[in-house]
Structure 1
Amino acid sequence: MFEASEVKRLIEQGLPCEFVLIDGDDGVHFSGIVVSASFEGQLKVRQHQAVYATLGKLMGNEIHALQLQTYTPAKWAEARVELGL
């Protein structure tokens, strides 16, 4: 079982991020927001794959699910107003 903070650390270690927020309290199911300039010009599926790649073999094994919202910094500036963050 994993802590949300460990999932966050692994993502930040493997991907240049401006912002990462990971929630989850059962140790196997998580949700989060990841903001990275490296997402520029990528489809959402590629953005999510980049995040999953930072977790490697943990995805689908120790980490059963990670529901993601991914943003470029410009899109995040718009979205965080809508989300109230």
Structure 2
Amino acid sequence: MNAEQLQALIAAGLPCDHIEVTGDGRHWSAVIVSPAFEGKRAIQRHQAVYATLGQRMHTDEVHALSMKTLTPAEWAAQG
């Protein structure tokens, strides 16, 4: 698994206005901006991302994923 593959998996499962994925092949960090996060708490947003990855979260493909999940308005407010 590489960053581009992980990014594509997330983007295929969520409508994303912006997504950045970095990592070393096992430990990942992502910034995900999606209108699907509107009205959802952080845990619900993370669960939505985990759902796009399915069983990969339970294997060595994605050992750890740190996420910053934002709505488009939250992203715009950060500049």
TM-score band by shorter chain is: over 0.9
| Number of aligned positions between the proteins | 78
Report SS of the residue matched to 1:16: coil
Match of residue 48 from structure 1: 46
**% identical aligned pairs:** 47
1:18 shift after superposition: 0.5
Q: Structure 1, unaligned stretches of length 5 or more?
A: none
Matches within 5 A, 1:1-85: 2-25=1-24, 27-61=25-59, 62-79=61-78, 81=79
List structure 1 runs of 4+ shifted beyond 6 angstroms: none
